[in-house]
Amino acid sequence: MKAEKRKELQTNFLADRMGRLLQGVRTGPQSKSSAAVWVLTILSSGTLLLWYVTGARSNRSPLWVKFEEDALRGDRENLRQLARDNPGTLAARAARFQRARLLLEDGLAKLYSRDSKEAINSVQQARKLFMGLSKECADDSVTASQAILGAAKAEEALVGIPDGDDAEKSLGDFDKALQYYRDLADKYPDTFAGETARKRLSDLEESRAEVEKFYKDMRQQLLAQAPKKP
């Protein structure tokens, strides 16, 4: 019963937040709705996964078959094990990408809920994975740009999460997120990720004060909804 009650409270909280955000889209400034939509949008890297799998189909090695099975099931633990057991292989790299994508996807879906501890950890893990992959894939514009975009989205999303009990501090760095978007747009301007970053950077820089206020409001909301310590 307690689990069902927590699920009901979380659902009600998210519904309330979404209602307010949608109302902001109708009546509020563009920057606020833009920030909300961006944070609640799940990172899509299906094209990246397809790129890897297509490149491996010529061999159809047992390793790639295992990757496909784990990826399709969304088995994050098996993907992590595959990467650990097969360092230096493309399949291991693909497994890390897919695990990072799943972590970010799951984390963003629950990040601004009452029970957000696991979600926050997932987004932080995704950020770390994407940053490592961005360096590892520096010689390939497609994968490197996707990795930087993933890191940027994770960094920005964590700006809305308080660091401890202080709403003035966050787990994400707004300036660092901006720099990720800027680097991505400058270095890979002709990629989909580069174009996405350019547009996001323009939105954030144009309405920085309002966006930062939005994230601060989210931090305050989460602290207000957090269970009181005994």
Quick: pLDDT tens for 117-163: 899 999 999 999 999 999 999 888 889 999 999 999 999 999 999 99
pTM: 0.77
Q: So what's the pLDDT on residue 230?
A: 57
Whether 97 is in a domain gets the answer yes
Residue 96 counted as domain residue? yes
Q: Mean pLDDT, the chain, as a whole number?
A: 79
Residue type, 171: L
Q: For 168-181, what is each residue's pLDDT tens digit? A: 999 999 999 999 99
161 phi and psi, to 5 degrees?
Answer: -110, 125
The span from the CA of 185 to the CA of 145, in Å, is 9
Percent of the chain with pLDDT over 90: 52
Number of structural domains the chain divides into: 1
**164: containing domain:** 40-225
Residues whose CB falls within 8 Å of the CB of residue 118, separated by 6 or more in sequence, listed in order:
110
pLDDT per residue over 52-87, tens digit each? 444 544 456 888 889 889 988 899 999 999 999 999
The answer to whether residue 25 sits within a structural domain is no
Residue 167 lies in a domain: yes
Tell me if 1 is assigned to some domain. no
**% helix, strand, coil for the chain, step of 5:** 75, 5, 20
Closest CA to 84 of 73, 69, 99, 71: 99
Task: Evaluate whether residue 10 is within a structural domain.
Answer: no
* 6-51 per-position pLDDT tens digit: 444 444 443 344 334 334 333 344 554 455 555 544 444 444 444 4
* Beta bridge partners of residue 170, listed in sequence order: 162
Residue 32 resides in a domain:
no
82 inside domain: yes
Reading the block at residue 11, the tokens are 């659902």
- Output phi, psi for 113, to 5 deg: -115, 175
